[in-house]
Structure 1
Amino acid sequence: MNGWLVTITDVHGNVIEMELPPEFSNAQAIANAVMRYSNHADADIASIEIQKMGGGGVQFVSSKK
């Protein structure tokens, strides 16, 4: 499976995982999608981890305080 696995953790310790298709070509596009999600969910995000599925390791890690 190609694509991206996005793990969002909010300040309360809730974890949300999203799978995004490989059409999202870079971490910035994925971060934009995640921020759109967080605006809709009114989430207070503590951290975002983005991994490329099928190998490649962590592409982008962001912390928001």
Structure 2
Amino acid sequence: MKLTIQSFLAGIVLGAIFSLLNLPIPAPPNLAGIMGIVGIFVGFLILNRWNEMRGKAKRDLS
């Protein structure tokens, strides 16, 4: 929960900075764009759960 709050506050600060500098915001401008990002995350979670259920270990990318 702490990480979520920190991320939200960082987003507010960065959004204010972008506004003050008259820069375009680097985020989806509408609900459809946001839902696309949420969909990517949910798809990632589903595939990870599926692989865990099948007994496949998560690949180490480091």
TM-score clears 0.5: no
TM-score normalised per structure 1: 0.32
Looking at CA atoms only, which structure, 1 or 2, has the larger radius of gyration?
A: 2
Per the normalisation by structure 2, the TM-score is 0.33
The answer to which structure, 1 or 2, has the higher relative contact order (CA under 8 A, 6+ apart) is 1
Query: Higher helix share goes to which structure?
Result: 2
